[in-house]
Chain A
Amino acid sequence: EAAVTQSPRNKVAVTGGKVTLSCNQTNNHNNMYWYRQDTGHGLRLIHYSYGAGSTEKGDIPDGYKASRPSQENFSLILELATPSQTSVYFCASGDDWGGSWETLYFGSGTRLTVL
Protein backbone atom coordinates (compact mmCIF):
# COMPACT_ATOMS: atom_id res chain seq x y z
CA GLU A 1 0.00 0.00 0.00
CA ALA A 2 1.32 3.40 -1.00
CA ALA A 3 2.27 5.62 1.91
CA VAL A 4 1.71 9.36 1.98
CA THR A 5 2.64 11.15 5.15
CA GLN A 6 1.66 14.70 5.98
CA SER A 7 3.00 16.95 8.70
CA PRO A 8 1.94 18.52 10.89
CA ARG A 9 -1.45 16.91 11.58
CA ASN A 10 -2.72 20.08 13.18
CA LYS A 11 -1.48 23.65 12.93
CA VAL A 12 -2.61 26.94 14.41
CA ALA A 13 -1.16 30.01 12.77
CA VAL A 14 -1.61 33.76 13.10
CA THR A 15 -2.79 36.02 10.33
CA GLY A 16 0.15 37.22 8.29
CA GLY A 17 2.40 34.43 9.41
CA LYS A 18 4.16 31.94 7.16
CA VAL A 19 2.97 28.34 7.15
CA THR A 20 4.59 25.35 5.48
CA LEU A 21 2.74 22.07 5.10
CA SER A 22 4.86 19.07 4.24
CA CYS A 23 4.10 15.88 2.38
CA ASN A 24 6.28 12.82 1.85
CA GLN A 25 5.54 9.76 -0.28
CA THR A 26 7.64 6.61 -0.38
CA ASN A 27 6.34 4.96 -3.55
CA ASN A 28 8.26 6.81 -6.22
CA HIS A 29 5.12 8.33 -7.72
CA ASN A 30 5.67 11.04 -10.26
CA ASN A 31 2.54 13.06 -9.55
CA MET A 32 1.72 14.80 -6.30
CA TYR A 33 -1.19 17.05 -5.40
CA TRP A 34 -2.36 19.47 -2.74
CA TYR A 35 -6.09 19.87 -2.06
CA ARG A 36 -8.11 21.71 0.50
CA GLN A 37 -11.40 20.40 1.80
CA ASP A 38 -14.11 22.74 3.00
CA THR A 39 -17.74 22.10 3.83
CA GLY A 40 -19.86 22.95 0.83
CA HIS A 41 -16.94 22.90 -1.60
CA GLY A 42 -15.64 19.35 -1.53
CA LEU A 43 -11.97 19.03 -2.44
CA ARG A 44 -10.37 21.72 -4.53
CA LEU A 45 -7.01 21.44 -6.23
CA ILE A 46 -4.45 24.04 -5.17
CA HIS A 47 -1.19 22.93 -6.80
CA TYR A 48 0.19 19.78 -8.32
CA SER A 49 3.45 18.45 -9.64
CA TYR A 50 4.60 16.02 -12.32
CA GLY A 51 7.97 15.40 -10.74
CA ALA A 52 10.92 16.93 -8.92
CA GLY A 53 11.36 20.57 -9.79
CA SER A 54 7.91 20.98 -11.35
CA THR A 55 4.86 22.72 -9.93
CA GLU A 56 1.59 23.51 -11.68
CA LYS A 57 -1.31 25.70 -10.64
CA GLY A 58 -4.56 24.01 -9.81
CA ASP A 59 -7.98 25.60 -9.58
CA ILE A 60 -7.39 27.80 -6.52
CA PRO A 61 -3.66 28.66 -6.39
CA ASP A 62 -3.94 32.25 -5.15
CA GLY A 63 -2.26 32.75 -1.78
CA TYR A 64 -0.34 29.48 -2.03
CA LYS A 65 3.03 28.41 -3.33
CA ALA A 66 4.28 24.89 -3.84
CA SER A 67 7.71 23.32 -3.88
CA ARG A 68 8.80 19.89 -5.14
CA PRO A 69 12.48 19.59 -4.23
CA SER A 70 12.59 15.83 -4.71
CA GLN A 71 10.49 12.92 -5.96
CA GLU A 72 9.41 12.18 -2.38
CA ASN A 73 8.59 15.63 -1.01
CA PHE A 74 5.99 18.21 -1.94
CA SER A 75 5.38 21.27 0.24
CA LEU A 76 2.58 23.79 0.33
CA ILE A 77 3.57 27.26 1.49
CA LEU A 78 1.35 30.04 2.74
CA GLU A 79 3.56 33.11 2.79
CA LEU A 80 0.98 35.38 4.44
CA ALA A 81 -1.69 33.23 6.04
CA THR A 82 -5.25 34.56 6.21
CA PRO A 83 -8.30 33.27 8.13
CA SER A 84 -9.89 32.26 4.80
CA GLN A 85 -7.17 29.64 4.49
CA THR A 86 -8.46 27.81 7.53
CA SER A 87 -9.23 24.36 6.17
CA VAL A 88 -8.20 20.75 6.04
CA TYR A 89 -5.41 20.17 3.54
CA PHE A 90 -4.80 16.85 1.83
CA CYS A 91 -1.76 15.75 -0.06
CA ALA A 92 -1.97 12.93 -2.59
CA SER A 93 0.41 11.06 -4.86
CA GLY A 94 -0.22 8.90 -7.88
CA ASP A 95 1.09 7.61 -11.14
CA ASP A 96 -0.21 6.59 -14.51
CA TRP A 97 -0.29 2.90 -15.23
CA GLY A 98 -0.52 1.50 -18.72
CA GLY A 99 -2.13 4.71 -19.98
CA SER A 100 -5.23 4.14 -17.89
CA TRP A 101 -6.53 6.09 -14.99
CA GLU A 102 -4.13 6.45 -12.11
CA THR A 103 -5.32 6.09 -8.62
CA LEU A 104 -4.41 8.53 -5.92
CA TYR A 105 -3.08 7.77 -2.49
CA PHE A 106 -4.01 10.38 0.08
CA GLY A 107 -2.37 11.46 3.29
CA SER A 108 -4.35 11.78 6.51
CA GLY A 109 -4.73 15.53 6.20
CA THR A 110 -3.53 18.63 8.01
CA ARG A 111 -6.05 20.73 9.87
CA LEU A 112 -4.95 24.36 9.63
CA THR A 113 -6.52 27.12 11.69
CA VAL A 114 -5.51 30.71 10.98
CA LEU A 115 -6.47 33.11 13.76
Chain B
Amino acid sequence: GQQVQQSPASLVLQEGENAELQCSFSISTNQVQWFYQRPGGRLIGLSYIPGMKPTGKQTSSTVTKGRHSSLTISSSQTTDSGTYFCVLRAGANTGKLTFGHGTILRVHP
Protein backbone atom coordinates (compact mmCIF):
# COMPACT_ATOMS: atom_id res chain seq x y z
CA GLY B 1 0.00 0.00 0.00
CA GLN B 2 0.94 3.62 -0.13
CA GLN B 3 3.44 4.95 2.38
CA VAL B 4 3.42 8.26 4.20
CA GLN B 5 6.62 9.39 5.91
CA GLN B 6 6.76 12.38 8.22
CA SER B 7 9.75 14.25 9.57
CA PRO B 8 10.92 15.16 12.03
CA ALA B 9 9.37 12.72 14.49
CA SER B 10 9.46 15.41 17.16
CA LEU B 11 10.39 19.04 17.40
CA VAL B 12 10.87 21.58 20.19
CA LEU B 13 10.43 25.30 19.59
CA GLN B 14 10.60 28.45 21.61
CA GLU B 15 7.48 30.56 21.34
CA GLY B 16 7.64 32.82 18.31
CA GLU B 17 9.87 30.52 16.25
CA ASN B 18 8.82 29.09 12.90
CA ALA B 19 8.88 25.46 11.87
CA GLU B 20 8.42 23.44 8.73
CA LEU B 21 7.03 19.91 9.00
CA GLN B 22 7.69 17.54 6.14
CA CYS B 23 5.70 14.74 4.59
CA SER B 24 6.68 12.46 1.72
CA PHE B 25 4.63 9.73 0.12
CA SER B 26 5.00 6.90 -2.31
CA ILE B 27 2.68 8.26 -5.01
CA SER B 28 2.39 11.65 -6.68
CA THR B 29 -0.85 13.26 -5.59
CA ASN B 30 -2.41 16.46 -4.35
CA GLN B 31 -4.91 14.55 -2.21
CA VAL B 32 -3.13 15.49 1.00
CA GLN B 33 -4.40 17.05 4.17
CA TRP B 34 -2.81 17.92 7.50
CA PHE B 35 -4.44 17.26 10.85
CA TYR B 36 -3.65 18.46 14.34
CA GLN B 37 -4.23 16.60 17.59
CA ARG B 38 -3.85 18.03 21.05
CA PRO B 39 -2.73 15.38 23.59
CA GLY B 40 -5.70 13.16 24.35
CA GLY B 41 -7.90 15.15 22.01
CA ARG B 42 -9.67 14.73 18.72
CA LEU B 43 -8.04 15.32 15.37
CA ILE B 44 -8.81 18.58 13.60
CA GLY B 45 -8.28 19.19 9.92
CA LEU B 46 -5.88 22.04 9.22
CA SER B 47 -6.20 22.46 5.47
CA TYR B 48 -8.71 21.82 2.74
CA ILE B 49 -6.79 22.70 -0.39
CA PRO B 50 -3.03 22.55 -0.80
CA GLY B 51 -1.46 25.98 -0.87
CA MET B 52 -4.36 27.75 0.78
CA LYS B 53 -4.40 29.01 4.33
CA PRO B 54 -6.00 26.37 6.52
CA THR B 55 -9.04 27.06 8.56
CA GLY B 56 -8.73 27.32 12.29
CA LYS B 57 -5.10 28.39 12.29
CA GLN B 58 -4.18 31.40 10.25
CA THR B 59 -0.45 31.32 10.96
CA SER B 60 0.28 28.16 9.06
CA SER B 61 0.28 27.17 5.44
CA THR B 62 0.80 24.07 3.37
CA VAL B 63 2.50 23.32 0.08
CA THR B 64 1.98 20.07 -1.77
CA LYS B 65 3.82 19.13 -4.93
CA GLY B 66 4.53 15.75 -6.44
CA ARG B 67 5.34 13.35 -3.66
CA HIS B 68 5.93 15.91 -0.99
CA SER B 69 3.97 18.18 1.28
CA SER B 70 5.06 20.60 3.96
CA LEU B 71 3.28 22.42 6.74
CA THR B 72 4.77 25.69 7.90
CA ILE B 73 3.90 26.98 11.35
CA SER B 74 4.70 30.64 11.71
CA SER B 75 5.13 32.57 14.96
CA SER B 76 4.51 29.47 17.05
CA GLN B 77 2.56 29.63 20.29
CA THR B 78 2.42 27.24 23.23
CA THR B 79 -1.11 26.35 22.11
CA ASP B 80 0.37 24.91 18.90
CA SER B 81 1.86 22.04 20.90
CA GLY B 82 0.51 18.66 19.87
CA THR B 83 0.87 16.11 17.10
CA TYR B 84 0.59 16.96 13.41
CA PHE B 85 -0.44 14.28 10.96
CA CYS B 86 -0.08 14.20 7.21
CA VAL B 87 -2.91 12.26 5.55
CA LEU B 88 -3.01 10.89 2.04
CA ARG B 89 -6.01 9.82 0.04
CA ALA B 90 -5.39 7.15 -2.59
CA GLY B 91 -7.49 8.89 -5.21
CA ALA B 92 -10.35 11.28 -5.82
CA ASN B 93 -12.94 8.53 -5.78
CA THR B 94 -11.89 6.59 -2.76
CA GLY B 95 -12.46 7.15 0.92
CA LYS B 96 -9.40 5.16 1.88
CA LEU B 97 -6.95 7.35 3.77
CA THR B 98 -3.42 6.70 4.99
CA PHE B 99 -1.98 8.58 7.97
CA GLY B 100 1.65 9.32 8.63
CA HIS B 101 2.95 8.59 12.12
CA GLY B 102 2.88 12.24 13.03
CA THR B 103 5.28 14.94 14.21
CA ILE B 104 5.12 15.77 17.91
CA LEU B 105 5.60 19.50 18.40
CA ARG B 106 6.34 21.13 21.74
CA VAL B 107 6.41 24.91 21.97
CA HIS B 108 7.96 26.32 25.12
CA PRO B 109 7.16 29.80 26.46
Contacts and interface: CB of A to CB of B under 8 A. Distances in A.
A99 B49 CA distance: 11
> For chain A, which range describes its interface: under 10, 10 to 19, 20 to 34, or 35 or more residues?
20 to 34
Contact of B33 (A35, A42, A103): A103
Q: How large is the interface on B (under 10, 10 to 19, 20 to 34, 35 or more residues)?
A: 20 to 34
Interface string A69-81: 0000000000000
Contact of A33 (B1, B32, B92, B97): B97
Nearest to B86: A42
Interface in A1-50: 31, 33, 35, 40-45, 48, 50
A42 B85 contact: yes
B105 to A, nearest CB: 15
Interface of A: 31, 33, 35, 40-45, 48, 50, 56, 58-59, 90, 92, 94, 99-101, 103-109
Interface of B: 1, 30-33, 35, 41-45, 48-49, 85, 89, 92, 95-102
